[in-house]
Amino acid sequence: MKESSIFIVGANGQLGTALRAHYSGAQYADVGELDITNRESVESFDWSGIEVILNAAAFTNVDGAETAEGRIAAWNVNASAVANLARVCQMHEITLFHISSDYVFDGMHEPHTEDEPFSPLGVYGQSKAAGDIAVSLIPQHYILRATWVIGEGKNFVRTMLGLAEKGVSPTVVADQIGRLTFTSELVRIIDHLLTNKAPFGTYNATNSGNLASWAEITRIIFSITGYKDLTVTDTSTAEYFAGKDGIAPRPLGSNMDLSKLQSTGFTSRDWKEDLQDYIAKEKETII
Ligand SMILES: NC(=O)c1ccc[n+]([C@@H]2O[C@H](COP(=O)([O-])OP(=O)(O)OC[C@H]3O[C@@H](n4cnc5c(N)ncnc54)[C@H](OP(=O)(O)O)[C@@H]3O)[C@@H](O)[C@H]2O)c1
């Protein structure tokens, strides 16, 4: 397949940036060039020659989605806009890759398999679940369920590295358990499914490796970077957000079962290996 037949939507986000770097010949747009919430713009766009749309666009501000304005924005981008993309994909026989989230579940039924019924706790998760339903209606689709995405942009690893540089010993949530998903891994998964013409459908799509809490991940980040003097204090999600308004409920269990993806011949990378590489690159940038 020619890379020019691939179109990346939401191209400036964490995943969009990684996809653009990998598929350097692909066409792409972010909200400035193509606002996917605008049905008319999406339908009148020139899709000729496009065989695959990679949808990396989303409203990802989980707490922002709980506000009056954010609720509308989240539903627009994560649900209505996704229906717009699904519609044009069906019209033009384009394959749609869409990224979903562990937040479509309440985190109580682990490991999460692809056929678990939706049980989102907050507005972000509800809007993402609605997007999944829209995509599932068209035959040529892949829905990839990611967790805790780390790439080029604002993310947990960068936040913790920033605190460490300032000499802050943080208090970190220890009762949310999951795995990081590096955008490099998501790109490898997308490329694998596309190249191998894997059966259409929903796939859990995270790195492999031991499950860990955010606090444990922080200790590993500090150990890799050599911040030996800093300590990480465990707290619970409830304690961490106590007294703060407008906080979205979070699923505590984000263990995604990777066996369906692996049955397609994909070998997942351990998140700790990708974390080492990520931190090494971050250090190069700082130097
Ligand atoms: N981040 C996580 O921890 C996480 C976890 C699980 C799943 N996911 C899913 O993984 C996918 C990628 O996440 P990410 O972290 O790469 O997201 P991100 O960095 O927030 O990027 C999303 C991109 O979509 C763009 N966008 C927003 N509204 C748009 C619109 N109306 N039309 C076109 N583009 C629009 C954003 O532009 P602006 O910045 O200008 O708004 C941004 O460039 C998303 O589907 C997300 O739900 C993320």
Mean predicted confidence (pLDDT) in 145-149: 98
In a domain, 263, yes or no: yes
In a domain, 280, yes or no: no
- Paired tokens of 194: 């596309």
Q: What is the position in ligand 1's atom list of the atom closest to the CA of 59?
A: 27
For the chain, what is the mean pLDDT?
A: 97
- pLDDT over 60 at 131, yes or no: yes
Does 285 fall in a domain?
A: no
Evaluate: CB of 148 within 6 angstroms of ligand 1: yes
Report the pLDDT value the prediction gives residue 263, as an integer from 0 to 100: 98
Q: Which of 179, 162, 166, 186 is nearest to 216 (CA)?
A: 179
Ligand 1 in contact with 16 (CB < 6 A)? yes
Instruction: Indicate if 124 belongs to the active site.
Output: yes
Instruction: Answer whether residue 287 shows pLDDT above 60.
Output: no
Protein residue closest via CA to atom 4 of ligand 1: 149
* C-beta contacts of 35-38 below 8 A and 24+ residues apart: 36/9, 36/10, 36/77, 36/81, 36/82, 36/84, 36/85, 37/76, 37/77, 37/80, 37/81, 37/84, 38/84
Catalytic residue among 28, 124, 227, 278: 124
- The contacts of residue 263 (CB under 8 Å, 6+ apart) are none
CA of 90 to the centre of ligand 1 (A): 23
As a whole number of angstroms, the distance between CA 214 and CA 255 comes to 13
Question: Is the bond leading into 120 cis (omega within 30 degrees of zero)?
Answer: no
pLDDT at res. 283: 83
Testing ligand 1's pocket by substitution, the residue of 12, 54, 60, 207 carrying the most ligand atoms inside 8 A of its CB is 60
Task: Please check the confidence at residue 61 and state whether its pLDDT lies above 90.
Answer: yes
Is 282 contained in some domain? no
CB of 65 within 6 A of ligand 1: the answer is: no
Residue 153 CA to residue 18 CA, distance in Å, equals: 11
User: 82 CB less than 6 Å from ligand 1?
Assistant: no
8 Å CB contact between 180 and 271: yes
Domain of residue 262 covers 3-153+181-207+256-269
What CA–CA distance (Å, rounded) separates 44 from 282? 41
Confidence label for 102 from pLDDT (cuts 50, 70 and 90): very high
Of the candidates 120, 116, 14, the residue with the CA atom closest to the CA atom of residue 62 = 120
pLDDT per position as a tens digit, 3-38: 999 999 999 999 999 999 999 999 999 999 999 999
Q: How confident is the model at residue 44 (pLDDT cuts 50, 70, 90)?
A: very high
Identify the CATH number of the domain in which residue 108 sits: 3.40.50.720
* pLDDT at 59 > cutoff 90: yes
In a domain, 26, yes or no: yes
Element (H, E) at 175: none
**140 within a domain of the structure (yes/no):** yes
Query: In total, how many domains does the chain have?
Result: 1
Cα 42 to Cα 80, 86, 91, 131, 177, distances in angstroms: 12, 10, 12, 16, 38
Answer whether residue 173 is part of any domain.
Answer: no
Q: Is the pLDDT of residue 286 over 80?
A: no
Domain assignment present for 221: no
Q: Is 84 in the pocket of ligand 1 (CB under 6 A)?
A: no
